[in-house]
Amino acid sequence: MDDGAHKLWVATLMQRKLPPWSSDKSRTEGPVADPQHIYAVLPSRRELLNHFQMQGVNTVEDAQISSSPCGRFHEYYAPGFELFHPHAGILLIGYTPGRSQADKAWRELSQASEAMPSLQRLIRCQKQAAFSGLWTQLDAQASHCSLLLHLGLDCLSECEAVSLTSRLVFPIFRAGKNYRIGSEYVKTPWLIERAGNHLRELTTLTPNLRAAIFLGDGQAALASARAHLERGDLPNHVEVFVLPHPSGANNGRISQFMKSPRTLTDVRVHL
């Protein structure tokens, strides 16, 4: 997409009549908004669904997008993760979708009617797969440190003010297994630049953004959030926080986080 087309696309988004989310409410009042008017597809990823469907692909294993120059990291497409909320005020940022999430997304796509608009099918995939099974724990953590109160939200889950994404948009596998961000993340240009480009595109298209919440495990998560701040991948006015990743593999750190009193100072990230 050239610069002219990109600016026209953004202008079109801004002209849509979307629900007015205030900074102190987590949900819109009155009738539920049409989901297709809430979501949009990232311009840089808009052709991927059609590309793989034209090839007859229906599993994550057959949907490889790219590989790192070192050959250790491989990126695969999973439908639905290219969506975002153009008018969201909060950005929730995971690692990268895992295999189970990718499988759920592809399974949901296969069950959706081909006559259904592509955006509607992608919405179904995201709702079925993104942060699947993690919401209860995530909301508990955000409440425990007063982050929900600070953001003026009742919850992060099922909240139209929150846009879901990951540092790395689509599944990344290393040696066939889910990639979990470690110390090498900030030292591997293919990873950090890929994630940085994504965050810059996303924040440019989300003008109402006021806070970003990175999920992760300990120092690696904190280091990755700081690295993106230092690179300028997030606007200066956006508040940045880090919460423990709510997956079962991180139960030890979650327990430690929840058993002691926590404040915003404990989860806020500064340069």
pLDDT surpasses 50 at 75: yes
Percent of the chain scored above 70 by pLDDT? 86
Which pLDDT value is given to residue 2?
A: 41
At 86 the three-state DSSP class reads coil
Position 68 scores a pLDDT of 96
Global pTM value:
0.84
The two beta strands, 90-94 and 83-84, are unpaired
Q: Stretch 100-129: mean pLDDT, rounded?
A: 94
pLDDT, residue 34, reads 53
Q: Percentage helix, strand, coil, to 5, in the chain?
A: 45, 15, 40
> Is pLDDT at 160 greater than 80 in this prediction?
yes
DSSP 55: T
When pLDDT is cut at 50, 70 and 90, the band that residue 182 belongs to is: confident
Contact 171, 67 (CB under 8 A): no
Are 99 and 60 in contact by the 8 Å Cβ rule? The answer is yes
User: What string of H, E and C letters represents the secondary structure of 18-42?
Assistant: CCCCCCCCCCCCCCCCCHHHCCEEC
Highest mean pLDDT among 29-33, 61-65, 131-135, 154-158: 61-65
Q: What average pLDDT is seen over the chain?
A: 86
CA 86-164-70 angle, 5° bins: 110
CB 224 within 8 A of CB 167: yes
Residue 125, pLDDT score: 95
- pLDDT at residue 135 in the model: 87
CB within 8 A of 141, min separation 6: which ones?
A: 243, 244, 246, 254, 257, 258
Q: Taking each helix axis as running N to C, give the angle between helix 99-111 and helix 118-129, from 0 to 180 degrees, rounded to the nearest 10.
A: 140
Tens digits of per-residue pLDDT, 9-51?
334 433 433 333 333 333 333 333 455 678 999 999 999 999 9
Going by pLDDT thresholds of 50, 70 and 90, the confidence category of residue 159 is confident
Whether residue 197 contacts residue 237, with contact meaning beta carbons closer than 8 Å, is answered with no
Q: What is the model's pLDDT at position 133?
A: 79
Would you state the pLDDT for residue 25?
Answer: 35
**Lowest-confidence pick of 106-115, 161-170, 234-243, 248-257:** 248-257
Q: What is the pLDDT of residues 203-253, one digit of tens each?
A: 999 999 999 999 988 788 899 999 999 999 999 999 999 999 988 778 899
Residue pointed to by tokens 């942060």: 131
